Amino acid sequence: MSKNKGVTIIELLIVIVVMSIIAGFVIINVTSILTNTRIKVDTFNLGTLNSVTEDFAEYKNVTSGDIFVGSSTDYDRMMILVDNGHLERIVVAQQTDASFVWDVDNQTWTLVGGELGNLDGGSTNYIFSTSTLTNVLDDGAVSPKISMWIDNDGYLTNKGGESRLFIPVLLNTYTITVSAALSDGSNGGYGIFFDTYLQNDDEDRDTGYALQFDRGYDSGSLIVRPRTNGSEGSPVWTLKAKNSDLFPTTSEDASWWTDTHQIKIVITNVSETTRKASFYVDNVYFGEMTYNNVISDKDIYTGFRGWGSYPTKFYSISVN
């Protein structure tokens, strides 16, 4: 007859240790999932806040100054959006010790005390006071010469010269919103790519379009240049300051050209073969252009371009 053996203390300790290790893995995994979810929720909500605020500014016809003039707290600002039907309720950041803060200088909502991510298959949002160049590159951005781009205190900037950074666009129709400021000087400018693709995935051979904030073009102009295999062509759309009441020439107001501006490009489909780009500066409509649809079945990009010896401070970019 055999005796039933009980569980020894050593065996019991082994079971306890193994279960503790398993429990530790579960806790770590759940914590990681919760953290990533909160980051995604905050990223989505930040994009939504900025989008509905732009709608509110257009609804109120606010073209300059503070969109929320007279309000001193972010709660009051959100309540204005709620009361006017642009927001269902006050939006609260999900990450611990994080909050949504209205940046009066740049007229945009930012996330303070938290981390921002990129929503796969949808919107893209980078606030360069919290997102770094490494974050952008980890999400698929490329550049012919990445050393031309550097992080700074609250913004991304180029070193001057020919500098290009391409950021993936995960949508077919979309709105690009960029907050940027050109450095002091008499020439130079910056460009924002739209409907751009890379020939054979070569970041030095971009083909598409760039809206250029060009201080040196005929006393200051906004122009669109087509780009083919990394080279630019003659303007296909031009708005000169000297021919417009919407903005000053460099001689009329040089400071306007170094102020922080919000540039918005809205891309829509007109037909199966035609696309349209509409251009806004500080929520003011500046014009539009139509062009042939050549981006079907291609990976498209937006991003920044600089040239000459005058760098630009890029504070944020969103694609929604």
Residue type, 190: Y
Q: What is the pLDDT of residue 318?
A: 92
- Check residues 1 and 316 and name the one with the higher pLDDT: 316
Range(s) of the domain holding residue 111: 7-117
pLDDT at res. 119: 47
Is 2 contained in some domain? no
* One domain, residues 75 and 212: no
Q: What is the pLDDT of residue 182?
A: 97
pLDDT of 65: 87
The predicted pLDDT at position 22 comes to 64
Sequence-ordered list of residues with C-beta below 8 angstroms from that of 100, at least 6 positions apart, any chain: 45, 46, 49, 74, 78, 91, 92, 93, 109, 110, 111, 112
Asked if residue 151 and residue 66 are part of one domain, the reply reads no
Does any domain span residue 184? yes
Bridge partners of residue 284, in order along the sequence = 281
The residue length of the chain stands at: 320
Residue 193 φ/ψ region, left for φ over 0, alpha for ψ in the -120 to 50 degree band, beta for the rest: beta
Q: Which of 117, 136, 169 represents a domain boundary (last residue)?
A: 117
From first CA to last CA, the distance across the chain in angstroms is: 77
Say if residue 128 is in the same domain as residue 225: yes
Tell whether the model's pLDDT for residue 255 goes beyond 50: yes
In whole angstroms, what is the distance from residue 22 CA to residue 268 CA? 51
CATH number for the domain that contains residue 298: 2.60.120.560
Kindly state whether residues 149 and 30 are assigned to the same domain: no
The answer on 99 and 137 residing in a single domain is: no
Tokens representing 237 are 């759309």
* CB contact at 8 A, 275 and 290: yes
What's the domain count of the chain?
Answer: 2
d(CA 92, CA 191) in angstroms, rounded, equals 34
Cβ–Cβ < 8 Å for 253, 269: no
pLDDT at 319 over 50: yes
148 & 225 share domain: yes
Residues 113 and 139 in one domain: no
| Angstrom distance (rounded) from CA 177 to CA 166 | 15
Interval 17-42 mean pLDDT: 68
Question: pLDDT per residue over 162-176, tens digit each?
Answer: 999 999 998 888 999
β-bridge partners, 287:
279
Partners of 195 in the beta sheet? Answer: none
268 inside domain: yes
Q: Are residues 65 and 156 in the same domain?
A: no
Residue type at position 117? G
106 vs 223, residue with greater confidence: 223
- Pick from 117, 132, 167: which residue ends a domain? 117
One domain, residues 303 and 223: yes
Q: Is the pLDDT of residue 179 over 60?
A: yes
Instruction: Specify if 1 maps to a domain.
Output: no
The overall average pLDDT reported for the chain is 88
Q: Domain end: 51, 84, 117, which one?
A: 117
How much is the average pLDDT of 257-279?
92
| Residue whose C-alpha is closest to residue 37's, from 92, 94, 91, 100 | 94
Asked whether residue 196 falls in the same domain as residue 297, the answer is: yes
For residues 285 and 262, state if they share a domain.
yes
- Looking at residue 28, its pLDDT comes to 55
249-260 average pLDDT score:
97
In terms of domains, do 213 and 265 share one?
A: yes
On the question of pLDDT at 2 being above 50, the answer is no
Contacts of the segment 37-40: beta carbons below 8 A, 24+ positions apart: 37/94, 38/94, 38/95, 38/114, 39/95, 39/114, 39/115, 39/116, 39/117, 40/117, 40/119
Q: Is 105 exposed, middle or buried (0-12, 13-18, 19+ CB in 10 A)?
A: exposed
